[in-house]
């Protein structure tokens, strides 16, 4: 079981590094949307016990909130 956990952690770390490098050419609003979607997905997953619907719903809500909060003033 520990091997699977290590593999999952390595995959998550690699994915996070790739996502961060992809943000280099984004506007502030696009970054806010992406960060909001990521945080929302994690929150939705935690709140629903890992449900796929909860994760997707959290990502959608988080993305909208991140988009609106980071609008240029």
State the Cα–Cα distance between residues 6 and 59, nearest whole angstrom.
25
Task: Pick the closest to residue 35 from 48, 14, 19, 54 (CA basis).
Answer: 19
- For residue range 49-61, what is the model confidence (pLDDT) as tens digits? 878 888 889 999 9
Q: pTM of the full predicted structure?
A: 0.67
Task: Pick the closest to residue 34 from 18, 45, 23 (CA basis).
Answer: 23
1 pLDDT tier (thresholds 50, 70, 90): low
How many structural domains are present in the chain?
1
Burial class (CB in 10 A: 0-12, 13-18, 19+), 33: buried
Give the range of the structural domain holding residue 22, as residue numbers without chain letter: 2-69
- For residue range 13-49, what is the model confidence (pLDDT) as tens digits? 777 777 767 767 888 888 888 889 888 888 888 888 8
Burial class (CB in 10 A: 0-12, 13-18, 19+), 54: middle
């Amino acid at each position: 079981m520990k091997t699977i956990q290590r593999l999952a952690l390595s995959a998550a770390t690699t994915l996070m590094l790739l996502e961060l490098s992809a943000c280099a050419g984004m506007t502030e609003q696009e970054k806010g949307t992406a960060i909001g979607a990521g945080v929302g997905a994690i929150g939705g997953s935690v709140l629903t016990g890992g449900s796929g619907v909860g994760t997707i719903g959290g990502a959608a809500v988080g993305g909208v909130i991140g988009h609106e909060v980071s609008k240029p003033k």
